[in-house]
Amino acid sequence: MIRASLAALLIAFGVGNVCCQQPVQNDASQICSFAEIYRKDGWAVPGLDGAKAKSQRAKLSKLPGVFVTMLQPAEPETFFQHVWCPQDHPGRIEIENAPIKVLDLWSFDFGGRVFAYRVSYAREAVNDGVRSELAASSTLFFYDADGSGRFTVVRDGTIGVGSFAPAYIPDWAKSSTDPPKPQ
């Protein structure tokens, strides 16, 4: 008798919880989806200012002609224009100047011409002037899409060859006969 009553109670609460839940809006993420962010004047690549080579330039086997160099940021703690879609406002894109700590920084070149940077960073919070890492990290690629030396396109760092290499090599980098621009 007690088991039957307990089972009935559990079923009632279980059904009640299911009925009380809000429907999931599957189209909300569709409204805010985007593949890249373009900034005409270019993005400041976090950690790049004053960075030094941390490793030797090495070939990427999955992308013939592409080389990677790991860099050491001079100042890993910085701020970045974080762009995101908040779940509580479908269709909205928010931009905030957020504190970050650069964890890893790589440059990618083709024939000595740097066309992309990959930046992995931890989100941080600043409370009473003290920075602390949040339990969130991201990876972004910054692309010089036209050979201007400005890194105008930002893409999610989880898309690409094994998620480490750039998703694409701009045509200018593959076809340019000009000497590489100083970085």
Pull the structure tokens for residue 54. 């941390």
Residue 142 lies in domain:
23-175
Question: Which of these, 141, 134, 136, lies nearest to 164 by C-alpha position?
Answer: 141
Is 116 contained in some domain? yes
3-28: average pLDDT: 40
Task: Quick: pLDDT tens for 70-102.
Answer: 999 999 999 998 888 888 888 888 899 999 999
Alpha helix positions (H), 67-178:
171-175
Query: Collapsing DSSP states into helix, strand and coil, what is residue 76?
Result: coil
Neighbours of 81 (CB within 10 A): 14
Is 4 contained in some domain? no
Is 105 contained in some domain? yes
Phi, psi of 18 (to 5 degrees): -65, -45
Between 84 and 103, residue with greater pLDDT? 103
Is 1 contained in some domain? no
- Residue 164 is predicted with a pLDDT of 82
Decide if pLDDT at 25 tops 80. Answer: no
Decide if pLDDT at 4 tops 50. Answer: no
Is 40 contained in some domain? yes
Query: Collapsing DSSP states into helix, strand and coil, what is residue 181?
Result: coil
31-57: average pLDDT: 91
Number of domains in the chain: 1
153-166: average pLDDT: 76
- Residue 178 is predicted with a pLDDT of 57
Is 34 contained in some domain? yes
Pairing of strands 153-156, 130-143: antiparallel
- Residue 181 is predicted with a pLDDT of 53
Is 139 contained in some domain? yes
Work out the mean pLDDT of the chain and round it to a whole number.
81
